[in-house]
Amino acid sequence: MNRSWRVFRALVLSMAGLLSAGCATQWQTPLKLPNQHTLVREQLVFHSDFQIPVRHRLIEELIARRGDVSRRLGLTLSDEPINVYLFEDNEQFEGYIWKYHPEYPERRAFFVKTDTRLVVYVQWGDRVAEDLRHEVTHGYLHSVVPNLPLWLDEGLAEYFEVARGRRGLNRAHLDLLTERLRRGDWQPDLERLARLDPRQEMTLDEYAEAWAWVHFLMESRPEHAEMLRTYLRQLQSEEREGATEPISSRLRRLPVPPERMLIDHVQHLAARGGGRR
């Protein structure tokens, strides 16, 4: 969603607020956060207006994913709470987001970091498992690594949003990149990804490439995974923003150009049957 549409939507919402009390508004329900029920499970604090079983299988998966993130990335666990607001009603979710965060693009879920809180907003819908795995991963990461580059933050979330046991294989992204390789109109460029403005919304192609770089680092060779873990540990301890050598520079020291290695990795995944079925 471009900036002009965000501004237009914000203006429309402001005008709607000036309508007389007798006029019908788009949302008849109060625009408030769900908070009738609270469930605390380790680092996650769930808020909802409907009862959630304490041992719900999705929540169990999210708890296990916390250990996955720590173990696979070599990161220490945090006890900083991640508040997860579960909206049962789509209309209430959209109304709340559009009123209080009109600058956000249209999505089913969001992660928000402030100076004092880590928060996830999500609709309890058909794709809530994927959405929660993605957004809660952002929370786990930001609770321990505050200076993540945008491409890596999103690439890791796309990797960990896949159900456990699939080693981060995001078939939708793999299909997209495989098709672009077939057409001959995709050339990986990690330096360009690293220059993306964090205030702008990434495109689907950029999400797919960010996922591919992370999957390559995590799954291709042990030394590549260790390169990523070392980089994350250095980000944790950096004293000023930009002090840590970017991972693209580290990849440049490998004997094969990283772009060639990434293309080979994507083609290998597709040939192995990771693409369309």
Query: Minimal CA–CA distance to 248: which of 233, 265, 261?
Result: 261
From 80, 110, 144, give the residue that closes a domain: 144
Tens of pLDDT along 128-137? 999 999 999 9
* Encoded amino acid at 57, one letter: R
- Residue 35 in any domain: the answer is yes
Tens of pLDDT along 177-207? 999 999 999 999 999 999 998 888 899 999 9
CATH classification at residue 60? 3.40.30.160
3-state secondary structure at position 274: helix
Tell me: do 185 and 126 sit in the same domain.
no
- Residue 150 in any domain: the answer is no
CA 81 remoteness from chain centre: 18
Domain count, the chain: 2
**Residue 181: C-alpha distances to residues 176, 247, 262, 267 (Å):** 9, 24, 12, 9
The answer to whether the Cα torsion of 205, 94, 110, 52 is positive or negative is: negative
From 86, 113, 144, give the residue that closes a domain: 144
- Residue 15 in any domain: the answer is no
pLDDT at 230: 96
Tell me: do 134 and 201 sit in the same domain.
no
Tell me: do 114 and 183 sit in the same domain.
no
Backbone phi and psi for residue 135, each to the nearest 5 degrees, phi listed first: -70, -40
pLDDT at 238: 76
- Residue 14 in any domain: the answer is no
Q: Answer yes or no: are the C-beta atoms of 133 and 162 closer than 8 Å.
A: yes
Could you tell me the residue range of the domain that residue 74 belongs to? 27-144
Tell me: do 121 and 188 sit in the same domain.
no
For each of the chain's 277 residues, which pLDDT tens digit applies?
A: 443 334 334 333 343 443 333 333 344 455 789 999 999 999 999 999 999 998 899 999 999 999 999 999 999 999 999 999 999 988 889 898 888 888 877 888 999 999 899 999 999 989 999 999 999 999 999 999 988 999 999 999 999 999 998 999 999 999 999 999 999 999 999 999 999 988 888 999 999 999 999 999 999 999 999 999 999 999 988 755 667 899 999 999 999 999 999 999 999 999 987 644 3
Tell me: do 60 and 108 sit in the same domain.
yes
pLDDT at 199: 80
Tell me: do 34 and 131 sit in the same domain.
yes
* Encoded amino acid at 84, one letter: V
Tell me: do 130 and 31 sit in the same domain.
yes
